[in-house]
Amino acid sequence: MSSQLSCVVAAGALAIALLPASAFCQPSDLAAKEDRPPAAAQTPEQPAPSKTSGTVDIEGKTIAYTAIAGTLTVGATDQQDAMIGPDGGLLPGQAALPKDPAQDPPTAQMFYVAYFKQGADPNQRPITFLYNGGPGSSTVWLHMGAFGPKRVLTPVDTHMPPAPYRLEDNQYSLLDASDLVFIDMPGTGFGRLYGKDHEKAFWGVDQDANAFARFIARFISTYNRWNSPKYLFGESYGTTRSAVLANILENKKGIDLNGVMLLSQVLNFGDLPDDTHANPGNDLPYEFALPTYAATAAYHHKLPQQPADLQTFLKEVETFATGDYAHALWEGNQISETEKRSVAEKLHTYTGLPVDYLMKANLRVSGGEFEHELQGDNDLTTGRLDARFSGPTITPLGRVAEYDPQSAALMSAYLSSFNQYVRQALKYGDGQTYLGEALFGGHAWDNKHAHPGGSPSDGSNALNVMPDLANAIKTNPQLKVMLNAGYYDLATPFFAATYEEHHLPIDPSLTKNIQYDYYESGHMVYVRDESLHRLHDNAAAFIRSTENRPK
């Protein structure tokens, strides 16, 4: 969850939610080739993995599991990665290391927690690799909120009281359907980066996805899972990563996937409502955000007439968004005053915002403006990640929201609970610091990306990885994709995610590979018990229908 929109991710800002496009800043200058022969890096000795066991009751069924917490080391290039072992040490017969550790090639120790069902045949048992987004987030959120065997107790839409927090057995853990591997991105969790220019080597769109690909290949070798049905589950920027990662695994690593599960998706950053005024002429984000604005206004009872049924209401709003509203936006500054006011009045019925405000906004309200204004009469700011949340407005006379109330509400509970759980239950981490997010400092995330078969972008335009997911589906027509989206997510609106899937450059015959599931929750759909229940059941059914187990 990150609402910081500057070049540096501020300390304390949760990085589960992707940064808006403007937050990527200027791309870093990562050379495509190393200026010296590849060699293994001299990384500090890694703590031994910790193995523990436990049980969890999932919807009335008891699952016994083995948990392993530890780190695996990956290189910054495939050639370098092939020369090192899981602990980062040089494999026998490889080139000698430089004498100066500061000149070592960059490596990343990546922290993970894996849960294996006891007694299951690894050749038949599915395995799912899970990660959050940011970019810059650890995976504490999916681990402790969604699918791990323990879950943080959180209220529906209010700020958590301070510690002590409560953990409970997670009756909706996904362990009934799949083994689980929660992976922290390089430079987060208990993982660390080493070697020369290590930030440049791992903190970027392609660098990050390649590191995850190397981790997964190393993990399935370490734990003998090459023949297991394999799945990716990414949230927020993790869905962006999944699109790139799926293509790398299938077309560079020879690892076909059974399925990719996407939660709170963004594949094209130009579709987001956060930074719209910086890109005039692209009005699609306003159309995509409108159904979420309407759901939010209805939730907070800000509409002139409260809808009787949310889904029926949203279908009506979607029709207006792609019809009369889209036409009015297309008219630009040629729109007549009569049409403009008519559309503003209709927007008022769907958003609750005053007609005069909508007229002054030229019918175009960004996400931050909506969050600031919807409950401004009560000096409340509406949540970005989950619009059901509210918090005191920092600057009542400001123009946009200055923080995200949901981030503030849940951050301490998740991080505190995981730090206690990992040390007490998983027996790992004593004497170490767990980083919930990457310490970017002055280093910018590298937004450059090479599309499949295309020329590398320079990172100056909005990142778009739709071609990557499309290529993964086309080169593996058996690959299935599951989109999960919350109605109250203002960070990655559900209507934008739907549009992206509908516009993947794939043959119409492949559209049947994609399924869609929506929830009355926000970005982290799992913080609402009913939505977590449905998310579990949908994900479990998706795995069981695609695991390709012999009948």
Using CA atoms, how far apart are residues 549 and 544, in angstroms rounded to an integer? 9
Residues 6+ apart with CB under 8 A from 254: none
- Choice among 167-181, 274-288, 343-357 with the minimum mean pLDDT: 274-288
Using CA atoms, how far apart are residues 225 and 223, in angstroms rounded to an integer? 6
Residue 18 confidence class, pLDDT cut points 50, 70, 90: low
Q: Which H or E run contains 188?
A: none
CB atoms < 10 A from the CB of 227, how many?
12
> Within this chain, do residues 63 and 136 fall inside the same structural domain, yes or no?
yes
Residue 162 confidence class, pLDDT cut points 50, 70, 90: confident
Residue 366: left if φ>0, alpha if ψ -120 to 50, beta else—which one? beta
Using CA atoms, how far apart are residues 34 and 79, in angstroms rounded to an integer? 11
Please name the residue that has the structure tokens 């040490």: 89
Per-position DSSP letters for 93-109, written without gaps between them: TPPPPPSSGGGSPPEEE
CA angle 205, 473, 253 (to 5 degrees): 60
Q: Is residue 198 part of a domain?
A: yes
> Looking at the chain, how many residues does it have?
551
Residue 98 confidence class, pLDDT cut points 50, 70, 90: low
Q: Which H or E run contains 56?
A: strand 50-58
| Residue 63 · residue 117 · CB < 8 Å | yes
Q: Is residue 503 part of a domain?
A: no
> Within this chain, do residues 353 and 392 fall inside the same structural domain, yes or no?
yes
Residues 6+ apart with CB under 8 A from 368: 274, 384, 399, 400, 401
Query: What is the β-pairing status of strands 127-131 and 230-235?
Result: parallel
CA angle 310, 315, 321 (to 5 degrees): 120
The yes-or-no verdict on residue 250 having pLDDT over 70 is yes
Q: What is the Cα gyration radius of the chain?
A: 23
Q: Report in angstroms the alpha-carbon separations of 455 from 7, 26, 75, 78, 272.
A: 26, 19, 24, 20, 24
The pLDDT assigned to 101 comes to: 60
- Choice among 340-344, 420-424, 459-463, 529-533 with the minimum mean pLDDT: 459-463
Residue 91 confidence class, pLDDT cut points 50, 70, 90: confident
CATH number for 71 = 3.40.50
> Within this chain, do residues 258 and 280 fall inside the same structural domain, yes or no?
no
404 alpha carbon, distance to own chain's centre: 17
The pLDDT assigned to 379 comes to: 94
Q: Is residue 110 part of a domain?
A: yes
Identify the top-confidence range among 164-168, 193-197, 311-315, 442-446: 311-315
- Return the amino acid letter for 197: D
506: phi then psi, degrees, rounded to nearest 5: -130, 160
DSSP code at position 196 = T
Tokens of 68: 């392993």
Range of the domain at 161: 21-264+425-464+540-546
The yes-or-no verdict on residue 62 having pLDDT over 60 is yes
Strand intervals (E) in 416-547: 480-486, 514-519
The pLDDT assigned to 22 comes to: 40
> Within this chain, do residues 316 and 194 fall inside the same structural domain, yes or no?
no
The yes-or-no verdict on residue 11 having pLDDT over 80 is no
| Residue 365 · residue 321 · CB < 8 Å | no
Q: Is residue 251 part of a domain?
A: yes
The pLDDT assigned to 206 comes to: 96
> Within this chain, do residues 123 and 249 fall inside the same structural domain, yes or no?
yes
> Within this chain, do residues 82 and 194 fall inside the same structural domain, yes or no?
yes
The pLDDT assigned to 550 comes to: 64
The pLDDT assigned to 382 comes to: 96
Mean pLDDT over each residue of the chain, to the nearest integer: 89
191: phi then psi, degrees, rounded to nearest 5: -80, 160
Q: Is residue 177 part of a domain?
A: yes
Whether a cis peptide bond, with omega within 30° of 0, leads into 135 is yes
> Within this chain, do residues 41 and 114 fall inside the same structural domain, yes or no?
yes
Specify the number of domains making up the chain. 2
Q: Is residue 124 part of a domain?
A: yes
The pLDDT assigned to 99 comes to: 53
Using CA atoms, how far apart are residues 415 and 334, in angstroms rounded to an integer? 51
DSSP code at position 121 = -
Using CA atoms, how far apart are residues 107 and 42, in angstroms rounded to an integer? 9
- Return the amino acid letter for 353: L
More confident residue, 165 or 353: 353
* Mean per-residue pLDDT, 505-529: 97
Please name the residue that has the structure tokens 């899970």: 130
The pLDDT assigned to 502 comes to: 98
The pLDDT assigned to 46 comes to: 75
> Within this chain, do residues 44 and 186 fall inside the same structural domain, yes or no?
yes
| Residue 80 · residue 108 · CB < 8 Å | no
Tokens of 88: 């980062």
Please name the residue that has the structure tokens 């362990």: 175
Residue 43 confidence class, pLDDT cut points 50, 70, 90: low
Q: What is the pTM of this model?
A: 0.91
Q: Is residue 301 part of a domain?
A: yes
The yes-or-no verdict on residue 244 having pLDDT over 60 is yes
Q: Is residue 496 part of a domain?
A: no
> Within this chain, do residues 228 and 348 fall inside the same structural domain, yes or no?
no
> Within this chain, do residues 104 and 162 fall inside the same structural domain, yes or no?
yes
The yes-or-no verdict on residue 551 having pLDDT over 50 is yes
> Within this chain, do residues 158 and 189 fall inside the same structural domain, yes or no?
yes
> Within this chain, do residues 241 and 382 fall inside the same structural domain, yes or no?
no
The pLDDT assigned to 63 comes to: 97
Residue 5 confidence class, pLDDT cut points 50, 70, 90: very low
